[in-house]
Structure 1
Amino acid sequence: MSLNIPIYDICTISEDRNEDILISRLDAYSQNNQHLHAPHKHSFYHVLFFTKGNGSHIIDFEKFEVKQNQIYFMTPGQVHSWNFDSIPEGYIINFSPSFYQSFLLKPDYIDNFFFFNGIAEDAVINLTDETAKPVIDLFESIIMEANGIDFMEKDMIKTLLLQIFIKISRLKSNTSNSVKNNYNYTIFNNFKKLIEQNYTRLRLPKDYAALLYITPNHLNALCNDFVNISAGDLIRNRIILEAKRLLINLDLSISEIAYRLNFSDNSNFTKFFKKYVGTTPEEFRRKN
């Protein structure tokens, strides 16, 4: 039997077909949406905060153990699944890309939130009891607004949600010397955006360096400074991630996946995948 990874939008989960945000306590959401425990994708942003629970959460083939005071940030298109040992407690907020853009002051404001960069290890953050308390208070306020009928409740929800994003971003900035608002970081962030737009057709750092009006050496230096890997590795990692996402869809043949990723033939795709993943596409598909 073939398996096609489902993609859910808010309309298929929320009872209100016109909503672009869904807010819920995690225990109710988990029990009412058992089908969401299996591997699936979202067309929306997904914020998940655990106040109690144990089990595991797999995001883009990386496994994370569920812990108290753990917060997840997921972007549209990521593949994930849950396996809870008991009914979890906490909060969940789903919102559409248009909702996200509607309360940001400027187009590049989104770049300040490292946890929405689509990299699984950056999207899972463990808070201490001290840092979790104000975040929990904000989630409780959001729940109250969502359940109330007060004037401008959606604007208040946006304000509270933005406070959560800023508080989490400050935790990162307060524990590192990373300078996000400088020229080099802007170039690096533009490089990541270009990869997302062009990874199936542009494979070489020099191609992206030309688009950014810098040298390949400069681009590599920026990547090593910010993420400690080369520009080539960043490009390859995005291709590999997409290959893995496509491989768990059994409706697609290996040849079709190779074509979608713009490889000249099945053989070249298999060699590329085995070189960087360590297994052939067929072996990865069987294991997953």
Structure 2
Amino acid sequence: MNVKTEIPVYDINNFREYKTQGLVASRFGHYAKAHAHLHSPHRHSFYHLVFFSQGTGHHHIDFKQFEVKPSSMYFMIPGQVHSWSFASEPDGYIINFSKDYFSNFLSNNTYFHNFSVFSGIADQQVIEVDEDTAAAIVESFEDILKEGAVNGLLRDDLVRSLLLQIFIRAERASGHKIEVTANSYNHTIFRNFQKLIAEHYTTLKLPKEYAALLYITPNHLNALCKDIMGVSAGELIREQVILEAKRLLINLDLSIAEVADKLNFSDHSYFIKFFKKHEGITPEKFRKSNILQHGK
């Protein structure tokens, strides 16, 4: 990717591999050779899962770097920015599925909220599995690929069931406790808070503004954020602003002042101070370091 362009967003319909009702399933080696965009920062409008059986290198998720190695798994949710760099030839499996792929299969439309691997928090979306778990996951991937070659009875439902098995095995291997109370009152509020941040981070910067939209007190919002995520509501808002700033800084056609303006900072010098305070470097230095990592 020419880093002077905006980060591209790929839709599942951009891909021609085995696809049925919003699903793409492929061996990763074939997929990587067919899609050069993997090596440059990009986003998806769909969910994305990769399991490596071989290969080494690095994976950047929302500007955090993770190691690529056999028996490692990577989960992505729509909107996250990522890129790959490989030191040796990779292989394994890749699954892309649309936001509504499970909508007619699961009665609980918040089911994925139970899984830390779909949290959108990069550190929780990269896991390593043991030998037995890897063998079971590989078997499920192979069965999915076999189903893609035939049009058997209830094929799509079987594929969805196999995918759910992979998610559950991965979640168990992650060591994170599945949050069985994800549909509780506080968790519902927290998920709504996350959605509101994603929608209004440029205009609403204070926890009390979000608390008002959620019809709760700022203290209640702060308490549930600390209980669920271990950080304050204000920190979650700032993290979203910083992440979006990084995504904008990738675009060299935008000046630092224009990035600040898009994030609704009235003074670009204040934006520079804000960014440096929370990242330890200036926006310009972040931009230059990103060019060294991804520039062509």
Q: TM-score, normalised by structure 2?
A: 0.88
1:106 aligns with 2:88: no
Partner residue in 1 for 2:269: 267
Structure 1 distance, partners of 2:190, 2:170, is 21
1:180 aligns with 2:173: no
Residue 18 of structure 1 and its aligned partner are, at CA, apart by 8.3
Structure 2 distance, partners of 1:122, 1:175, is 8
* SS of structure 1 residue aligned to 2:82: strand
Q: Which amino acid aligns with 1:139?
A: F
Residues 167 and 247 (structure 1), Cα distance of their counterparts in 2 relative to 1, 3 Å cut: same
Structure 2 distance, partners of 1:115, 1:175, is 9
Residue 100 of structure 1 and its aligned partner are, at CA, apart by 4.2
Partner residue in 2 for 1:284: 286
Structure 2 stretches lacking a partner, 5+ long:
291-296
Structure 1 distance, partners of 2:83, 2:199, is 26
Structure 2 distance, partners of 1:225, 1:117, is 16
Structure 1 distance, partners of 2:98, 2:275, is 33
Superposition CA RMSD, Å: 2.2
Structure 2 distance, partners of 1:101, 1:251, is 39
For 1:147-162, what aligned pairs fall within 5 Å after superposition?
147-162=149-164
Residues 106 and 222 (structure 1), Cα distance of their counterparts in 2 relative to 1, 3 Å cut: same
Structure 2 distance, partners of 1:107, 1:4, is 32
* SS of structure 1 residue aligned to 2:124: helix
Partner residue of 2:124 out of 112, 119, 122: 122
1:58 aligns with 2:60: yes
The worse-fitting range, judged by mean Cα deviation, of 216-225 and 90-99 is 216-225
Structure 1 distance, partners of 2:139, 2:178, is 28
Structure 1 distance, partners of 2:100, 2:179, is 29
Q: Which amino acid aligns with 2:16?
A: S
* SS of structure 2 residue aligned to 1:23: strand
Q: Which amino acid aligns with 1:53?
A: G
Are the aligned partners of 1:179 and 1:185 in contact in 2 as well (CA < 8 Å)?
no
Q: Which amino acid aligns with 2:181?
A: K
Residues 98 and 37 (structure 1), Cα distance of their counterparts in 2 relative to 1, 3 Å cut: same
Partner residue in 1 for 2:16: 14
Aligned residue-pair number:
287
Structure 1 distance, partners of 2:39, 2:99, is 23
Are the aligned partners of 1:116 and 1:123 in contact in 2 as well (CA < 8 Å)?
yes
Residues 159 and 18 (structure 1), Cα distance of their counterparts in 2 relative to 1, 3 Å cut: closer
Are the aligned partners of 1:50 and 1:70 in contact in 2 as well (CA < 8 Å)?
yes
Q: Percent identity among equivalent residues?
A: 53
Q: Which amino acid aligns with 1:283?
A: K
* SS of structure 1 residue aligned to 2:7: coil
Partner residue in 1 for 2:97: 95
Q: Which amino acid aligns with 2:135?
A: K
Residue 166 of structure 1 and its aligned partner are, at CA, apart by 2.9
Partner residue of 2:222 out of 212, 220, 224: 220
For 1:62-101, what aligned pairs fall within 5 Å after superposition?
62-101=64-103
Structure 2 distance, partners of 1:265, 1:63, is 31
Q: Which amino acid aligns with 1:111?
A: H
* SS of structure 1 residue aligned to 2:145: helix
Q: TM-score, normalised by structure 1?
A: 0.91
Q: Which amino acid aligns with 1:70?
A: S
1:192 aligns with 2:194: yes
Structure 2 distance, partners of 1:99, 1:223, is 29
Partner residue in 2 for 1:27: 29
Structure 2 distance, partners of 1:168, 1:73, is 10
Q: Which amino acid aligns with 1:101?
A: S
Residue 256 of structure 1 and its aligned partner are, at CA, apart by 2.3
Residue 21 of structure 1 and its aligned partner are, at CA, apart by 1.7
Residue 234 of structure 1 and its aligned partner are, at CA, apart by 0.6
- Could you list the per-position Cα deviations for residues 90-131 of structure 1 after superposition, in whole angstroms to 9, with x for gaps in the alignment? 100112213243433222223122222221111111111122
* SS of structure 2 residue aligned to 1:76: coil
Partner residue of 1:37 out of 32, 36, 39: 39
Residue 215 of structure 1 and its aligned partner are, at CA, apart by 2.1
Structure 1 stretches lacking a partner, 5+ long:
none
Residue 68 of structure 1 and its aligned partner are, at CA, apart by 1.7
Q: Which has the higher contact order (CA 8 A, sep 6+)?
A: 2
* SS of structure 2 residue aligned to 1:81: strand
